[in-house]
Amino acid sequence: MKTTFAHRLKVTIPLMLLLLLTGGCASMMQQSAEESNAAYSTRDLNEQLVMATLWMQSSAEFRAMSYQAFNLAAMNLDSFLAAYTGSKPVAIIVDADETVIDNTAYEAWLIGQDFGYSSKTWTPWMEAAEATAMPGAEEFLNFAAAKGVEVFYVTNRKMVGYDGTKKNLMALGFPNVDEKHLLLRTDSSDKQARRDLVAKDYEIALLMGDNLNDFTSNFRKKTVDERFIETDKIKDQWGTRFIVLPNPTYGEWEGAVYEGNWGVSAAEKDQMRKFYLRKWDYQVPE
């Protein structure tokens, strides 16, 4: 198992302090480190959004992966329906953000700002109803509806954003955008209760999302390594019943890097992100 960032700090900090104290400059070095951390702002951290956001907005590869996901979903849904002999009506469950709608304009707006995601700015974004459709989403969702399959949108947008979200999805031509099928977050970010609500009356053919919590709660509050283990346990379901959309800009994977502590400073987030990078061990010849 990979050593966690917190464990690495626990081991190295006492040694560093001992060396600094031996040198008689501990207080000066501590002050310098604190000043360096204070100088590293959220504006600096937001610069790390540039490549991921640029890729999602500007690369044909991203569009191809999105089309690929929805093409696969259509094929799998057809196969499911051909073999289905049950009595329940059939449904699919999809997440909203970065699954059927694209919010990268909001992510791009954060670049250059000295603050990150918050309800203060996210709520106006939801109200603006300006998210665009993920490539292939509108075609697939209406394909499913034409087959008599009901679409349920299980999203962790909070209820304050219900009207804006409904307006946005309807404007994009998505089917089943109503109170029954649009299930926003109420008391918990765990989607299992809402998935169970759908499963009570429907046979769920497949689920789509950009976050592994969109499929099962087994990924909630897990470490980076634990998430790998859980992913491997159900490897046969990826691309069959569970279809994942690419999202390198944010998600539970990032929270795992921070070991669940989203409140750490921008400098600490930067350090923790870089801690999990696997690096080539090579020394450039002089």
Q: Do residues 99 and 236 both lie within one domain?
A: yes
Cα 101 from Cα 174, distance rounded (Å): 10
Average per-residue pLDDT for the chain: 92
Domain assignment present for residue 128? The answer is yes
Q: By the 8 A CB rule, do 203 and 159 touch?
A: no
Do 185 and 127 sit in the same domain of this protein? Answer: yes
Same domain, yes or no: 95 and 133: yes
User: Residue 171: inside a domain, yes or no?
Assistant: yes
Cβ–Cβ < 8 Å for 205, 77: yes
Full residue range of the structural domain in which residue 1 is found? 1-32
Give residue-wise pLDDT tens across range 55-98: 999 999 999 999 999 999 999 999 999 999 999 999 999 999 99
Do 99 and 232 belong to one domain? yes
pLDDT of residue 66: 98
The pLDDT value recorded for residue 36 is 62
Q: Are residues 16 and 119 in the same domain?
A: no
Question: How far is the C-alpha of 115 from the C-alpha of 208, rounded, in Å?
Answer: 30
pLDDT at residue 19, rounded to an integer:
46
Pair 85, 137 in one domain: yes
Within a domain: 276: no
Token pair 């109420």 is found at 186
Provide the pLDDT for residue 37.
Answer: 73
Contact assessment for residue 267 and residue 36, using Cβ atoms and an 8 Å cutoff: yes
Do 145 and 219 belong together in one domain? yes
Q: Are residues 66 and 189 both part of a single domain? A: yes
Q: Are residues 20 and 90 in the same domain?
A: no
- How far is it, in rounded angstroms, from Cα 144 to Cα 151? 8
Number of domains in the chain: 2
DSSP at 173: T
Residue 2: its pLDDT value, please? Answer: 54
HSE, side-chain direction, 13 A CA sphere, residue 148: 9
Give yes or no: residues 123 and 190 share one domain. yes
Going by C-beta distance under 8 Å and a sequence separation of 6 or more, which residues neighbour residue 139?
A: 70
DSSP 201-265: HSEEEEEEESSGGGT-GGGTT--HHHHHHHHHHTGGGBTTTEEEPP--SSSHHHHHHTTT-TTS-
Per-residue pLDDT, 10: 56
pLDDT for 61 equals 98
| 282 domain residue, yes or no | no
> How big is the CA angle at 158 (ends 182 and 124), to the nearest 5 degrees?
105
**pLDDT, averaged in runs of 10, over the chain (286 residues):** 59 50 53 69 98 98 98 98 98 98 98 97 98 98 98 98 98 98 96 98 98 97 97 98 98 96 97 97 94
Q: What is the pLDDT of residue 18?
A: 47
User: Are 16 and 69 contained in the same domain?
Assistant: no
Q: Is residue 257 part of a domain?
A: no
Q: How far apart are CA 62 and CA 67, in angstroms?
A: 9
Output the pLDDT for position 38: 73
Question: Is residue 63 assigned to a domain?
Answer: yes
Q: What is the CATH number of the domain that holds 77?
A: 3.40.50.1000
Q: Both 131 and 219 in a single domain?
A: yes
